[in-house]
A and B are shown apart, each in its own frame.
Chain A
Amino acid sequence: MTVGESGEPIVGHLSIPASAGSGKTFRLAHRYIQLLALGESPERIAAMTFSRKAAGEIFDTIVKQLCKAAERKEDAEEVSGHADILNHGPGEYLALLRSLLDSMDRLHVGTLDSFAIRIVQSFPLELGITMDFEVMETGGSVARAARNEVLRGILERRNLDASAQEAFLQSFKQATFGQEQKSLGRSLDRFVDDFHAEFRALPEESGWGVGETIWPGSSPWLNPAKDFDECGRFLREFTAASEFPDRVAQKWVEFIDEAVAYLPGSPWVNAIKYMMERLLPISAELREGHATVRLFTTDCALNAEVCRACLGLVTHVMWCEIRKNLETTKGIFQILQRFEAIYDERVRKRGRLTFDDIQFLLSPNTASGGGKPLSGIPGEDRLYIDYRLDAQLDHWLLDEFQDTSDIQWSVLENLIDEVVQDPSGQRTFFYVGDVKQAIYGWRGGNARLFDQIKNRYRETIGEELLKTSYRSCAHVIDCVNTVFSSLPADQFLKETRIRWAEAWEDHEIAGGSVPDNGHVSLLSPAAETDRFDVAAGIVREIDPVRRGLSLALLVRTNDEATDLVKVLRGSCEGVPVVHEGHAGVLDSPVVTALLSLFKVGAHPGDAFAWKHILMTPLGRIIQERGLTRETLPQAVLGQIHVTGYRGFFRDWGDALAQVVLLDEFGRRRLDDLVDAAGEFDAGGTRDAGAFLDFMESFTLREGSSKNAVRVMTIHQAKGLGFDVVIVPALQGRPIRGGGGAGVITAYDSESERPVWTLQMPRKLVAESDEVLRKELQRHEEEKSFEALCVLYVAMTRARHAMYMIVDRPKPTSTAYPSAQFLLDQLEKHGVEGGDPPTTFGDQPAHCHFARGEWGWYLSTSELEATPAHEVQEPVRKRDASARALPARAVTWRSVPGNPFTDRAADRLELGSAIHNLFERVEWLPEANPIQAVELWKETAPFPDNVREAAANHFRTACEASAVQELFAEPPAGAIVWRERAFQVMLEEGLVSGRFDRVVVDADDDGIARRASIIDFKSDSVDGSEDLSRKAESHRSQLHLYRRALSKLLPLDETKIDCFVVFTTVGKVVELYALP
């Protein structure tokens, strides 16, 4: 608690359960402002959330509120009111604004992910990082490609030693329990998807499918009767002896036969199912030794002996079933563990980490042992996190807390514990979230943390409710209240109802802030049409793009979204429909054609790609460029290696655009492809296979614009609001029941840590075991709660209007479909707001519930008719940058053939050694050239052999008379320049160079009369013809030098002589100026 001047607490720890649209971010921003106003320095406040978008909004909101308050007294009062601040006027707020903006570089307002990344960056050695790392979007195309690499790696056995291979095959068999698979690749992929979260939560072998852990005190089913054969025999006799009707007797016999032969993994045949369904419920009686079981219409009385025998067989079957699941679970674990090991080796150790990996690295609970920096108590044990991050965090503000996963919490736990337990009362913790929106359970989000933490800090933490919607109109909120305020008792587990009731508060609306025209309805399609078509009809009727309304269609799964997008695109012409977050680039022929071009380059045998290109304008371009299927590989791969994939697609895309006039969409997609390629290039590889993998899973990252109709999953819609929401896909998963349990992880009720994981046996089996039954129930309750959350999220996105479209479900006993739930809750309240239309954009539908006017949107003004998609012609409008300076530099460096031949490399070095040596000579004969060379050799920075060779050259040259002549000091004396740099502007541009040696004959006034340029060359020379040829090859350079010197001195060109000294042979060639 932050204390006031007189020591009274002003701000305490606070927990805020909120509802959808109630302004969580707004509340959090004001808390931040409040802390600032109390004099806390901004760098000591951490405000964090999950999504990047929300993170940006938090800071923007803080700044905007402060700006407002700094400008007007009334606004200052309003902000003070929201933030519970006393005595602050515009002047004070201005100061706060200033200090906040000044310390922007030291703030901790952002995503949990980015905070985690910063920690990892600061503690690389402690966390076992062995590479400069890059972060991959979890599930993004980069991560996907990496995963494919791992899958491939696993399949190649060279990565596993013989025993590991065998173990892998075994575990795979175990995991699939004889349900042999034809496609290992796909199954593996699925395995990893399905079970990875569980594996991460509990990465210990002892937790997976180990009977002792699950049933510490043992379970009756785990001690199978050793003598079940005997039991079988006894029961057969019993059946024979009893005078049961035929079919009853037959059931007994069939059961006995099947049960005795039963093995783990045996099929659950009818006879077993029938009898187990009847015997398991009476297992207690069987144990007591007298029971009756009813088969068909016959009651079979069982005496103690018979009971024991029955129990023997039942136990045997149960044991087999449980055994099977234990084994499967172990197998799954083994596979995941191996996957993990290889993934670690090939991806993480190579510095490619996903956000999940980062959290995992940091968690003190995980086996990586990497949590050190954050673990322990402050002081001795805890590493210097504040110090390295330059941050002492006194206040923690967490948004969307219901989505925190155990791993994430474990990263923060100690830091926050420290804050809450700080005895000074100067530090605070604040968190806000909506348990009703906890829909990320599948990703590890643990909404129970919300209450657990409240309970843990019960003594010190306050609570405040946010239940007023600033988003949705009254009709929407009324509808939400009607559906969720009381759940039908007969359809939900008691626990679900209690938990929901605890989280529930009737919603209110903030009049003035929410729209006042709006509409809600629950529809179902008439027989001749379906939900998606009705949805498309509504879209056509509202015509949101023209009216400037944002509209989203929410579905459950991405597959549904794909289908819905197809329907919409087919029937809503001219309306951009975007599959949010899943828009690939393959929906344009421009992209597919270019990809085929690449494919042929990398895989010239691909007839598909080749023929495809021929069908497109690319065929013509290839021809024009003189390329064939045979020559494409060299051209394509060569180009990619020089310009990257990005340059490759840009080039060919531009060529394509020149041949056909690309429409806006085609151009857009071309740019998208080029961008995607750039992203791939950034990874540094040019690998063809990796690129294909990458492109196949590539999705556009950019969000869609307001002028598009957006199709997305409910999960994606979380945190967003739209003018209109259509929910046409509430069939699928029921709100309760249905579906198998799959793999379940059980948690310790005290520590909340995962204890064991098991692939659940079939329901009948699981429900007959106390431990499993409890977990199963908990799981059901969890699933049911999450299903409610999903529905709640879907129903709270709309500002103006919401249309829910359902089919009336067929009644079933085992599941409660969401659609039925909605009908049950709403239908009884009937239709208000006028007679419902019979069709929606010509699609007939029935209405079960409605509030608000049907034509609510008619009052919304239509947008000015802006030209839909202005075609922007790519023309440049101005010439050069009009730079004053000349740009072009003249170079004459000739590239030697293959630079890797020994000769080429040595010659370069030799050349500079020789220059270095000659630089020391003023005139020849030097007093003692030999000694000079020896002296030079001692210090010259060249390898021995080069030094030796240079010295030899030098000696040869010095002995040659031509050279001696050239180096002789003129009697009248002269100025000599050695290795002198110059720079001069000639017609061809800026020439910068270095004269090896220039001798200037000047008059007394220093005016040049004549000059010679002497250039050393270490080329090998073979005969006189070669000599003149080589000399000739230097002519252009020397000519340039002559002109340069002429300008520098200044001196007429004809008065400048040029000499090339070939040091290898000690020859001098004069290059006369050409007329």
Chain B
Amino acid sequence: MPVTRHFLGYDRPQIQAVCRFLLPDRIRTAPELDPLLLVVPTRRAGRRILECLSGVCEEHGTGLFPPSIRLPTELVRLDTSHLASPALVLAAWVQVLRNADLRRFPALFPDCPPDQGTSWALYVADVIQRLRSELAEGGFLICDIVKDVGEDLTELDRWRNLASLESAYLSVMDRTGRVDPCTAMITAAADPVLPPGIRQIVVAGVPDLSPVVARFLMRLGDEHSIDLLIHAPDSLADLFDRWGRPIPGEWAGRTLEIPDASRRICLAANESAQAGAVVRLLNDSDPECSVAIGVPDSNILCPLRDALERSGYTPFDPTGRAFRDHSLFHLLDAWHGLLSVGDYAALARFMRHPDFIRYYEQRDICVASVLEQLDTLQNQHLPAGLDEVVRVLDDHEAYCGETGRENTYPELIKAIRLLRDRLHDFEEMPGVESVKTFLKDVLGDFAPGPDSMDAQLFSDAADLVLSGLEDVSEAERANLIQPGQDGLRLLIHCLKDAEMFARRVDEELVLEGWLEVPWSDAQWLILAGMNDEVVPSGFRGDPFLPDSLRSKIGLKHGEERLARDAFLLAGLIASRPDPGGVTILYGKTARSGDPLKPSRLLLRCSDEELPGRARQLFGEAEVARDDVPPSVSFPLDVLAALGQEAADHPDSLHVTAFGTYLDCPFRYYLSHILRMQELDDRKMELDALDFGNLVHYALEQLGRSEELRVSTDTERVGAFLAESAERFAYGRYSSHPPLSVEIQLRSATERLRKAAEVHVAELAAGWEILDVERRVRGEFEGLTIVGKIDRIDRHRVTGACRLLDYKTSETAEPVAKAHIGRRDPESRPYASVTMDKKQGTWTGLQLPLYRMLLEQDGFGEGVEIGYFNLPKAAMQTGVSMWENFDEKLVDRAGHCARGVIRDIKSGRFWPPCESVKYDNFERLFPSAYAACVDEISQAKLMPGQEGGAAR
């Protein structure tokens, strides 16, 4: 029976024309289309045809028995039972590639890859399979190309290399008992089989039928009737070949009428500008006229969806959701990361996966505590991975057992235990079965409600995983891959590009792809992203199939694409008479900033029009958006953050707190009253505090050692200090700490060795350690002041005492300068001080306060104060005293301290200081303080108003 071409004309949109063709003229009972095989270009086109058919039948009060719907490629893949799954195909390739002696394929791999690892093999497998699928559409295997084109091939050696790899692959495939999908396709075309009961085939609107499918149909044509439906008038019949494909030569030079082009074609600066333009067009459109949006350039989907949603539309993107974006994929991926890399980042990622969170939450473990404790542990111990975390937790538990202290990580311990159980189970079981077990355990009784979108998606995702697992386990059974981790990797690789069918909610506006728009029946069509290399898309950058070769062997190529797209656009425009029509948008630049060009189709006008059209299309785009001066969208209601737990008036104050308050009362409020402290797990090395602790610890040990603190043996003292520091560091950060810690430790021990020299010299000068890390406290203005003095020395001869503070900052700073800064006229009156006849302002009270507290502690007056500096530059290591520190200064410091306490007690924390050295709160204040903090808070934080307005 013949293959018949039917030209549907331009009277109505394609979908309506197709349905008219399929249905009988008069419908009395439900039309029985089951004996019909309907071939459509896309899945969605099939669905729309079914909907449209039902709609027509409904008008006649009935339903229908729908035709079988197939994509062209599915025709040649009808018998699926013995077909190898994609995973099996990849596994077979991986096996071939990993074991291949690449030197035998010099044309393909001129430089041997450094390792023939699994991920390399998977990539190459993908590349070769992509090539094979394209060839198969033309009816070729690689070996056919070598045979058929042979000497005519550029890069013949490379093709020969490919062919021998292919034959190795085919024999591996053979051994699995499955059929290679490409081979299957070619065989199917040679010997076509149809599903039982099919008597007629209709090919509806497929403008680019591939050679292999055409061959299939040709063979069938002997016994079945085949109808090809073409959305074009009869008069254009000569522009199509017998399979309904636009003939490239005929379409290449054709003029494409775009009525009212100057208005209907619009340029926009970039993706988001196009999205904005779509919204504007919609808003201005006639509500009576039905609209559809076509989005050939998928880069616009995201901004477009966003712009539409923001304007109150409910757009719907019918392309599949990538499985990659589903949380199930991330769960598998995180699990794989934990198993294969196992570093801290992998652990942190897994612990934060919502499914795993749910899993431990269901076991009465507090999520917030687990995560907080994990962060704390990370900051404290900088663990390299799970093993380290486990070690720390074990040690800590033991330590708590011994000392009776409370465990810091109770919830984390429970969660990690659960995790280890899962890991244990996984290792016990061979193969991908263990993945299933893992999922079963972790997802437990998770059941999303049956109606929700998420549930549908979840169920789709689960199906994908399950069938993927099935395939991978087959590959395992066939010994193509190592069971376990390799299987998991293959699974992830196969799934990462899988798509899930998106179901519709109450959609209004469907964002159709380029090949879907022809199936829209809307009167008015907006096309966004009509840029060159999108419509028509090209085949640039293909490693094996440059355009020249494509057209030579009859694969899809550039000219053909151009013809197809010209045909499609012509149909879209011609079948939409007034008041409908097509509006075309295109962009000037991509998001990345790359320049874009308008689609060539838009320039297919007559010669007279061309210069004007080109000038229009290559014009300047309006700037995407205006800049707006920054403003504070809402001020911070600082007081709202004051929970019950934070008391306005602390009952004790640490000596260092005074400095903080003097620096900036408001920041003091944030850090000390509100206790705003950051916490995350991105710490890579010791911070200044940790480093100080490390050094302090070692020096404390020295002070506590009866023997060593009086030793004059520099070497020994130095070694002792170094060892103490190492003990501390290795204890806390494991015996294999991160390199940063190692370097910092070396730096610390170097400083300590230098300090040993200084210490011994001081000893020689008569200064002996009297006490170290001495806690002191005292009352001031009804408030307790507390502190810890690093070291107190007494002179052997004079009996004089001095107190020293160890300083580990990069550079040594004179004591006085650390406490008294330049005169600041804006500061509180109590903070002003005169030293050496110069006016200054207190910036810290630490050492003077220590001295006062020691005085109360029975040391009497006259204790000298100073720093023991351990800075970066070894030369500057040494004791530096506050010369001429006198009673007057003590008095002033006391006065200042009392002033601060009074202020704190009265709740005065405003105004803030304009500039501080290190600002942890910077991001709270993008603008002037007065604008960033709400006025009520400001007023409340400045009771009494004595200081006047904000600085």
What number of A-B contacts does a CB cutoff of 8 Å give? 518
Contacts known (A94-B607, A125-B109, A666-B633); A634 close to B640, Cβ less than 8 A: no
Are A184 and B682 neighbours in the complex by a CB distance under 8 Å?
no
Residues in A whose Cβ lies below 8 Å from that of B742:
157, 165, 169
Residues in A whose Cβ lies below 8 Å from that of B629:
569, 573-577, 665
- CA A64 to CA B615, docked complex, whole Å: 6
B30: interface (CB < 8 Å): yes
- CA A895 to CA B448, docked complex, whole Å: 8
- Pick the contact of A369 from B108, B111, B685 — CB < 8 Å? B111
Residues in A whose Cβ lies below 8 Å from that of B674:
607, 611
Are A630 and B367 neighbours in the complex by a CB distance under 8 Å?
yes
Are B633 and A663 neighbours in the complex by a CB distance under 8 Å?
yes
Are A692 and B680 neighbours in the complex by a CB distance under 8 Å?
yes
Is the interface on chain A under 10, 10 to 19, 20 to 34, or 35 or more residues?
35 or more
Are A604 and B367 neighbours in the complex by a CB distance under 8 Å?
yes
A449 to chain B, nearest CB (A): 25
Residues in A whose Cβ lies below 8 Å from that of B533:
105
- Pick the contact of B744 from A98, A184, A675 — CB < 8 Å? A184
- CA A64 to CA B616, docked complex, whole Å: 10
Q: Give per-residue flags for A651-687: 1 if the beta carbon is below 8 A from chain B beta carbons, else 0.
A: 0000000001011111010010011001001001011
A139: interface (CB < 8 Å): no
B219: interface (CB < 8 Å): no
Contacts known (A616-B636, A705-B625); A182 close to B810, Cβ less than 8 A: yes
Are B630 and A52 neighbours in the complex by a CB distance under 8 Å?
no
Are A899 and B52 neighbours in the complex by a CB distance under 8 Å?
no
Are B543 and A895 neighbours in the complex by a CB distance under 8 Å?
no
Are B739 and A168 neighbours in the complex by a CB distance under 8 Å?
yes
Residues in B whose Cβ lies below 8 Å from that of A704:
627
Are B618 and A64 neighbours in the complex by a CB distance under 8 Å?
yes
B304 to chain A, nearest CB (A): 12
Contacts known (A884-B55, A885-B52); A94 close to B611, Cβ less than 8 A: yes
- CA A665 to CA B931, docked complex, whole Å: 15
- Pick the contact of A602 from B110, B680, B875 — CB < 8 Å? B680
Which of A66, A158, A349 has the most CB atoms of chain B within a 10 A radius of its CB? Answer: A158
Are A388 and B114 neighbours in the complex by a CB distance under 8 Å?
no
- CA A349 to CA B118, docked complex, whole Å: 12
Are A985 and B54 neighbours in the complex by a CB distance under 8 Å?
yes
Binds A, one of B207-215, B505-513, B788-796, B897-905: B505-513
Are B588 and A56 neighbours in the complex by a CB distance under 8 Å?
yes
Are B685 and A878 neighbours in the complex by a CB distance under 8 Å?
no
- CA A692 to CA B670, docked complex, whole Å: 23
Nearest residue (CB) in A for B676 is: A608
- Pick the contact of A97 from B270, B343, B610 — CB < 8 Å? B610
Residues in B whose Cβ lies below 8 Å from that of A674:
306
Query: Which residues 279-337 of B have a CB within 8 angstroms of A?
Result: 282-285, 287-292, 302-303, 306, 309-313, 324-325, 327, 330
- CA A883 to CA B15, docked complex, whole Å: 13
Q: Give per-residue flags for B677-697: 1 if the beta carbon is below 8 A from chain A beta carbons, else 0.
A: 111111011101001000000
Residues in B whose Cβ lies below 8 Å from that of A887:
504, 506-507
Q: Give per-residue flags for A588-631: 1 if the beta carbon is below 8 A from chain B beta carbons, else 0.
A: 11101000000100111111110110111101000000000111
Binds B, one of A126-134, A526-534, A760-768, A833-841: A126-134
Binds A, one of B349-357, B766-774, B825-833: B349-357
Query: Which residues 721-743 of B have a CB within 8 angstroms of A?
Result: 736-740, 742-743
A226: interface (CB < 8 Å): no
Residues in A whose Cβ lies below 8 Å from that of B324:
684
A877: interface (CB < 8 Å): yes
Are B62 and A875 neighbours in the complex by a CB distance under 8 Å?
no
Residues in B whose Cβ lies below 8 Å from that of A879:
287, 508
Are A634 and B746 neighbours in the complex by a CB distance under 8 Å?
no
- Pick the contact of B376 from A605, A874, A895 — CB < 8 Å? A605
A706: interface (CB < 8 Å): yes
Are B926 and A1047 neighbours in the complex by a CB distance under 8 Å?
no
Which of B110, B114, B312, B633 has the most CB atoms of chain A within a 10 A radius of its CB? Answer: B633
Residues in A whose Cβ lies below 8 Å from that of B633:
588-590, 660, 662-663, 665-666
Residues in B whose Cβ lies below 8 Å from that of A611:
641, 670, 674-676
B886 to chain A, nearest CB (A): 35
Residues in A whose Cβ lies below 8 Å from that of B625:
668, 702, 705
- CA A102 to CA B614, docked complex, whole Å: 12
B28 to chain A, nearest CB (A): 10
Contacts known (A67-B611, A124-B127); A157 close to B54, Cβ less than 8 A: no
B145: interface (CB < 8 Å): no
Are B548 and A387 neighbours in the complex by a CB distance under 8 Å?
yes
Residues in A whose Cβ lies below 8 Å from that of B361:
634
A262: interface (CB < 8 Å): no
B943 to chain A, nearest CB (A): 20
- Pick the contact of A705 from B312, B327, B510, B623 — CB < 8 Å? B623
Contacts known (A876-B312, A885-B48, A895-B450); A114 close to B594, Cβ less than 8 A: yes
B530 to chain A, nearest CB (A): 13
Query: Which residues 911-946 of A have a CB within 8 angstroms of B?
Result: 939, 941
Nearest residue (CB) in B for A158 is: B384
Are A157 and B384 neighbours in the complex by a CB distance under 8 Å?
yes
A898: interface (CB < 8 Å): yes
Residues in A whose Cβ lies below 8 Å from that of B678:
606-609
Residues in B whose Cβ lies below 8 Å from that of A630:
366-368
Residues in B whose Cβ lies below 8 Å from that of A902:
436, 440
- Pick the contact of B327 from A158, A182, A642 — CB < 8 Å? A642
Residues in A whose Cβ lies below 8 Å from that of B681:
603, 689
- CA A756 to CA B589, docked complex, whole Å: 42
- CA A887 to CA B114, docked complex, whole Å: 54
B271 to chain A, nearest CB (A): 10
Residues in A whose Cβ lies below 8 Å from that of B632:
588-589
Are B354 and A638 neighbours in the complex by a CB distance under 8 Å?
yes
Residues in B whose Cβ lies below 8 Å from that of A852:
none
B924: interface (CB < 8 Å): yes
A352 to chain B, nearest CB (A): 14
- Pick the contact of A105 from B459, B507, B532 — CB < 8 Å? B532
Q: Give per-residue flags for A68-79: 1 if the beta carbon is below 8 A from chain B beta carbons, else 0.
A: 101100000000
Nearest residue (CB) in A for B114 is: A128
Q: Give per-residue flags for B416-454: 1 if the beta carbon is below 8 A from chain A beta carbons, else 0.
A: 000000000000000000001001100111111010001
- CA A660 to CA B934, docked complex, whole Å: 14
A253 to chain B, nearest CB (A): 21
Are B610 and A985 neighbours in the complex by a CB distance under 8 Å?
no
- CA A939 to CA B79, docked complex, whole Å: 11
Query: Which residues 1014-1038 of A have a CB within 8 angstroms of B?
Result: none
Are A687 and B349 neighbours in the complex by a CB distance under 8 Å?
yes
- CA A988 to CA B604, docked complex, whole Å: 47
- CA A449 to CA B773, docked complex, whole Å: 66
Q: Give per-residue flags for A886-913: 1 if the beta carbon is below 8 A from chain B beta carbons, else 0.
A: 1111010111011111100100000000
- CA A619 to CA B737, docked complex, whole Å: 40
- Pick the contact of A130 from B120, B462, B631, B643 — CB < 8 Å? B120
Q: Give per-residue flags for B516-543: 1 if the beta carbon is below 8 A from chain A beta carbons, else 0.
A: 0000011000000000110010101111
B634: interface (CB < 8 Å): yes
Residues in B whose Cβ lies below 8 Å from that of A970:
none
A154: interface (CB < 8 Å): yes
Contacts known (A165-B739, A612-B676); A881 close to B290, Cβ less than 8 A: yes
Which of B124, B548, B738 has the most CB atoms of chain A within a 10 A radius of its CB? Answer: B738
Query: Which residues 10-59 of B have a CB within 8 angstroms of A?
Result: 29-30, 34, 48, 50-55, 57-58
A155: interface (CB < 8 Å): yes
Q: A60-B618, A589-B926 are in contact. List 6 more A-B contacts (CB 8 A).
A: A182-B744, A708-B627, A884-B521, A900-B466, A992-B54, A1048-B29
Q: What 5 A-B pairs are tightest by C-beta distance, nearest first? A: A984-B63, A56-B595, A605-B372, A666-B633, A876-B312
- A–B Cβ pairs within 8 angstroms, 20 of them: A67-B612, A70-B610, A97-B614, A130-B124, A137-B592, A185-B740, A349-B119, A603-B681, A604-B368, A611-B676, A612-B676, A641-B353, A701-B592, A705-B626, A881-B290, A884-B521, A895-B447, A941-B81, A984-B30, A1048-B62
